[in-house]
Amino acid sequence: MSKILVEQDPSPMKLDVMHVEQWALWEKEVSRFPWTYDATETCYVVEGEAVVTPDNGDPVTISAGDLVVFMAGLSCVWEIKKPISKHYKMG
């Protein structure tokens, strides 16, 4: 099973039910860095684009309009191609 799940263009109703706009906001400039998820993170990309490459895995591109789940235990490298802004919640 993939440790990164991407749903493109979820319905506005789904986002409302999940209270996405109440989640914390994270923003980052174009950059590249390693990351490990201690807990599962669900996020909604508001703007920008990144390629997230799991250790020993295939790269996954995420961009504006994507609802993404990063599973706990995932180690990866983030490469932010366009400045990114995302709402996120842990757990």
**Region 36-49: what's the mean pLDDT?**
98
Does pLDDT of 1 surpass 70? Answer: no
User: What pLDDT does 6 receive?
Assistant: 97
Output the domain CATH number for residue 8: 2.60.120.10
Instruction: Give tens-digit pLDDT for 43-69.
Output: 999 999 999 999 999 999 999 999 999
What share of the chain in percent tops pLDDT 70? 99
Residue from 41, 38, 34, 44 nearest 8 by CA? 44
pLDDT band for 2, please (50, 70, 90 cuts).
confident
Encoding tokens for residue 65?
A: 């309009």
Domain region containing 32:
4-90
Q: Are 29 and 80 in contact (CB under 8 A)?
A: yes
DSSP structure class, residue 19: T
Domain tally, the chain:
1
User: Percent helix, strand and coil across the chain, each rounded to 5?
Assistant: 10, 60, 30
